[in-house]
Amino acid sequence: MTFAPPPGSTAELHNRLQTEQHWGYTIYRTTFSAQADAACPTILRYLDACIKKSLFSECASYSQDSPGVDPAIYEGIWTRYQSTVIEDAARFTRASIESVRDHFEAFVEGQDRRHLFNSDRMCIVIDEESLLTLLDASVEGLEAEGPTHVHETTRFLKVLEAWLTVDEYDSFPGWMKCSPRALGSVEDDGQWRGDEEFVGGYG
């Protein structure tokens, strides 16, 4: 059976995974209350489910017209997804964005992954502010919405850019509030400044 090629960013991710074992986000917790400890396992499963749904929603969208894209490519990409969760309360409780960025840059450089994937050039932060928006999130609720991607602006995380380059006219502080539903598009193209699904601005 003949398939159409996937979008360029997905094709690039697929090609890189021919030589790399995995791809995925690095997620930092900076809140360690009893409430956070209880909620975070569910939140992390929810984030994985959001990324998976975004990936397969793209597959479904590009398969509406003949010949469609090869679903095996998307299955292969997803099976290689692996997030890294950093939960060091002694080091990161109420840590600043700048200290998280410094650690993340050193972490990625230490693995020689700086130029591999978009998800190695930005990381996710779950702080107290974002945690409170995610307390009611669940995989079951996400699945109940059906197969399509749904835009929502209630829940957010903080996504920060590493190796930040700004000029004197750039007001971008190097991080934004991001809808969990938009995480798939971060890996797709890395172009997230000003994206309507990166909600709530900078603060």
pLDDT, position 194: 45
Spell out the residues 6+ positions from residue 117 whose beta carbon is closer than 8 angstroms to its own: 13, 16, 20, 23, 187
pLDDT, position 202: 42
Q: Residue 73 is encoded by which pair of tokens?
A: 């490519």
Q: Residue 11 is encoded by which pair of tokens?
A: 């094709």
CB count, 10 Å around CB of 28? Answer: 27
How far is the CA of 67 from the CAs of 15, 40, 63, in angstroms? 21, 41, 7
Spell out the per-residue pLDDT of the chain, length 203, in tens. 789 999 888 998 899 899 888 999 999 999 999 999 999 999 999 999 999 998 998 899 888 888 899 999 999 999 999 999 999 999 999 999 999 999 999 999 998 877 777 778 899 999 999 999 999 999 998 888 766 656 666 899 999 999 887 666 667 788 999 889 888 765 554 444 444 444 444 44
Global pTM reads: 0.86
